[in-house]
Amino acid sequence: MKKILFVIPHPDDEIVGACILIRKLLREKKKISMVFLTNGVISPNQNWFWKKNKYQDFVKIRKDEMLHSLELLNIKEYYYQNIPTRTLRYKISESHKLICKIIKKNKIDTIFCPAYEGGHQDHDIANFICSRLKGLCNLYEFAEYNFFQRKINSNTFFDSNNNEETILLNHSQQKFKNKCLRIYESEKKNLDYINVDKESFRPMLNHNYSKPPHHGTLFYRRYSFFSWHPKVDSSSPLETTNIILRSNIY
C-alpha cells in the first residue's frame, strides 16, 4: 500500500467516511490522490423551479468547499467528474474508464471507496465500479452511514465480519474532523447525523449487487413518502440494482 486512490462519490464523503484515515495514511508517507465521481449537486430538472437557473452557482459552492477540504487534508492531486448527484448510475462505464486511466497514470496499488450499505445510491454504484477493479488493485471499503434495523448508524458496518479495522478518534482527531465537516456549509443540514467517535474500513467484500445491501429501508429511502421533495431520492433500490446488472464492465 504505497500509492492510494480514494474514490469519492460526492464532495464531503472524503470527510464523512475517511477524514482521519486519510490523515493517518499521509502521516505514514503514503501517496494519496482522489477522484470525485459527481459534483454533489442535484440536476436542475430535479430541483425546485425557482432554483433551476442557479445550478452552476450551487456547483461552484460545492467545488469551492471541496478544494478547501483538499487543502486542509493536504491532498495535492485530485480528479473531478462534473456530473450531478444521483446520475452516477448512468455513467458507470465512463467512470470505470476514468478510474482505470488514473490507476495506470499514477501506478495506483490500492483503492478505498464507500461501502455497499445503502447510504446513497451513488455510494453503492461507486462500490460496484471499484469491485470491477479486483486484480488491478487492493480494494478497501469504508463505512459512512446506513439505516440498518431502522436506525441511523454512522461509520460502522452493519454486516460486521470481524475483518474490519476501526479507528477510535481521540479528542484532537474529533476536533479536526468536526473542523473538516464544517467546511461543507452547503451540506450542514445533511451532515448533522454523523458521529465523530470512530471510522471503519475493511477489505472489500464480495457483495451481491443483484440485491439491495440489506433488508428493510435503506438510508436514502427513509423519507420515501416525500419523494416529491428535491432533497429526497425518489429512486427505488431495485432500479439501481437492475442498472448494475445491465452494466457491461468486468
The residue among 77, 137, 92 whose CA lies nearest residue 112 is: 137
Distance CA 73, CA 70 (A): 5
What distance separates the 2 farthest-apart alpha carbons in the chain?
Answer: 49
In the chain, which ranges are continuous DSSP H helix?
13-27, 55-73, 92-106, 121-131, 171-183, 237-246
The residue among 94, 97, 80, 6 whose CA lies nearest residue 41 is: 80
- CA-based radius of gyration for the chain: 17
- Amino acid symbol at 119: G
**Could you tell me how far CA 59 lies from the centroid of its own chain?**
17
Distance CA 247, CA 249 (A): 6
Per-residue pLDDT of the chain (250 residues; tens, 9 = 90+): 899 999 999 999 999 999 999 999 999 999 999 999 999 999 999 899 899 999 999 999 999 999 999 999 999 999 999 999 999 999 999 999 999 999 999 999 999 999 999 999 999 999 999 999 999 999 999 999 999 999 999 999 999 888 999 999 999 999 999 999 999 999 998 898 899 999 999 999 999 999 999 999 999 999 988 888 988 998 999 999 999 999 988 6
> Structure pTM?
0.96
- Amino acid symbol at 139: L
C-alpha cell recorded at residue 211: 440485491
At 149, is the secondary structure helix, strand, or coil? helix
Bridge partner residues of 73 (DSSP):
none
Q: Give the chain's domains with CATH numbers.
A: 3-246 (3.40.50.10320)
Whole-angstrom distance between the N-terminal and C-terminal Cα of the chain? 24
- Amino acid symbol at 84: P
